[in-house]
Amino acid sequence: MGPFATLNLGMRCGDDPEAVRDNRAQLSLLTNAFPDLLTFGQQVHGNNVSVVAGAEIGSGADATDTAIPATDAMVTNIPDVPLVVLVADCCSVSLYDPVNDIIALVHAGWRGTAAGVAGAAVSKMIGEFGSNPADLAAGIGPSIGSCCYEVGKDVFESFAKNYPDTAGEVFVAYGDGYKLDLQESNRRILAMAGVPEERIETAGLCTSCNTDLFYSHRAEQGNTGRFGAVMILHDRTHRIY
């Protein structure tokens, strides 16, 4: 009910945990997945990437404190394991390697984006599974847009430190600070990591402008839930073409 009335998936928002579990069960039905296989990272706005296998499968499905520790991106090659990130203004970044059947899902707020978490996920796919970035396809989900995302000089300086050639193109001066294009920032980082630009799709939707569709931490002043991005690598032997 109230700020959590539309399928809140976050356990740390003040919602009733049982209601969240029910919502996650609905998510499982919608995605044809087993609820106890839903896999979450403990999102800390960093650039750590975890490979999901074995004991990591199903982490955080029932409670926040069982999520994979300090993880903002997950990679797996195991079929039927749903990777989930939770957002309410941050970007989700989905990556797929159709040659090796690898998926990655990334949570990218401004701190994670400045730390290159999307590029780190690409590197993990290369290092762990032999992916070729030229084969990858990527999708960048809805986030707060540059129309609404006012940030301070500290944010600009964080980007400029790691991406000096990019910062000036994704920030626009605004008052005493800036406005940041978070989706474009991640698109450029993926391109720098070798993902072909024509294989990167960007939602172009602002969560703050569209609170009828999405949760927005900023627009709703923190009194809101979290929606999810989900990726599942379905077993090819069970696919219908």
Domain boundaries, the chain: 2-234
Which pLDDT score, from 0 to 100, does residue 27 have?
Answer: 93
pTM above the 0.85 mark? yes
Architecture per CATH, domain 2-234, reads as: 4-Layer Sandwich (3.60)
108: nearest Cα among 131, 142, 81, 132: 142
Which pLDDT score, from 0 to 100, does residue 6 have?
Answer: 87
Give dist(CA 98, CA 103) in Å, integer.
9
Burial environment of residue 119 by CB neighbours within 10 A (0 to 12, 13 to 18, 19 or more): buried
Which pLDDT score, from 0 to 100, does residue 238 have?
Answer: 46
pLDDT digits (tens, 9 = 90+) for 184-199: 999 999 999 999 999 9
Which pLDDT score, from 0 to 100, does residue 116 have?
Answer: 97
Burial environment of residue 72 by CB neighbours within 10 A (0 to 12, 13 to 18, 19 or more): buried
Which pLDDT score, from 0 to 100, does residue 239 have?
Answer: 44
Give dist(CA 125, CA 91) in Å, integer.
19
148: nearest Cα among 201, 228, 220, 202: 220
pLDDT digits (tens, 9 = 90+) for 160-171: 999 999 998 999
Which pLDDT score, from 0 to 100, does residue 2 have?
Answer: 67
**Residue segments in the chain with a per-residue pLDDT below the cut of 70:** 1-2, 236-241
